[in-house]
Amino acid sequence: MEKKISIKDIWNALLKYKRLGIKVLVATFVIACFLTLCVPNYYRATVTLAPELSRASSNSLSSLAASFGINMGGNTSGSSEAIFPTLYPDMMNSVEFKTSLFPIKVHEIDSDEEMTYYEYLLDHQRKPWWSYIFGLKNVMIGAIKSLFVSNEEVDNSKVNPFMLTKEQYDLIKYQLNEKINCDVDAQTLVISISVTDQDPLIAAVIADSVKHRLQNAITTYRTSKARVDLEYNKKLFEETKRNYDDARQKYAVFADANQGMVLQSARSKLIELENDMQIKYQAYSSVAAQLQSAEAKVQQDTPAFTTIRGATVPVEKDGPHRARIVIILCFLAGLITCCYALHKEGYLIPLTRFVLGLDGDKEESVKSV
């Protein structure tokens, strides 16, 4: 038969283990404070951008949906753009993009020592003491491997995105992927770039650098075809200009040499040279107009980014939230202690069945005071 319990019995059972509860809470508080104080502070800098979409024609349904803030699929408004804003986070997560941040010159807010971002990530990151203990396993594995494998020196200062070293791969996987984040609002397509770092100045510098690199990458993509056309028109312009100059020079030389002569052959040659010069001049003029049009096309395809929120050095830390962590751990410790006390007194199972509604007659199982 189920043991009948009352709220008074539960309270008395908890009071019976009062000393144990106080000891557990004090120990938990001290340990939690010690652990949280070992975790270094980190700061977050955020940049917000509003990109300009391509000027492709839009259908009426997509335009109507966009007016209500609804994004109909990945290619809104009939845009022919392949790299849509929702794909920007994937672009930023590429190895090429991450490795392009390594050469950036940075320095900590309380120091004038300048270094590359790669050197900062490698040698100037503060870690809690237990990370070194967990890292001993990798050190031991590496030492054992070095006994059987020839240890060739690897130049980590040179970055090849196609073939990263183990050190560079670890920096990208375990640090950059956690520090740099990009989110795109599915409705407004507003881009939010956030960088988390232990130094507030470096967090702001890297956030601003990521913003500029993303803008340059999108600009390069959007204007790639127009720039190819522009380079082609420049070469064609130089060629036609050179042909026209040669034809004009030949005409002038022949006209000066045969000035005042009435021979029909000389007149025919002069007319031939003049016609050739006029043809090449027309080609030159046409290509010059195409060159101007290609330059205008590059300018037209260059996207504009509106900076809604620029990068600023954060004043307050973003974490860790030490007080919150300590409160949660103390609460869990108190809850576990209460469960232990109720289990020792034989009240835990009946109370659990009552809370979960597994008892047929709740009023008989638990009596009110």
10-60 residue pLDDT tens: 888 888 889 999 999 999 999 999 999 988 999 999 999 987 765 543 443
Neighbours of 221 (CB within 10 A): 15
The pLDDT of residue 220 = 86
**Rounded mean pLDDT of the chain?**
81
Helix axes 200-222, 224-257, angle to 10 degrees: 60
Q: What backbone phi and psi angles, to 5 degrees, belong to 47?
A: -120, 135
Mean pLDDT of 301-305: 84
> pTM for the complete prediction?
0.72
DSSP state of 42: B
pLDDT band, residue 258 (cuts 50/70/90): confident
Locate 357 and state its tokens: 């509604």
pLDDT band, residue 3 (cuts 50/70/90): low
Q: List the single range of 17-26, 93-102, 298-307 with lowest mean pLDDT.
A: 298-307
Burial 265-293 (b: 16+ CB within 10 A, else e): eeeeebeebeebbeebbebbeebeebbee
The pLDDT of residue 219 = 87
pLDDT band, residue 204 (cuts 50/70/90): very high
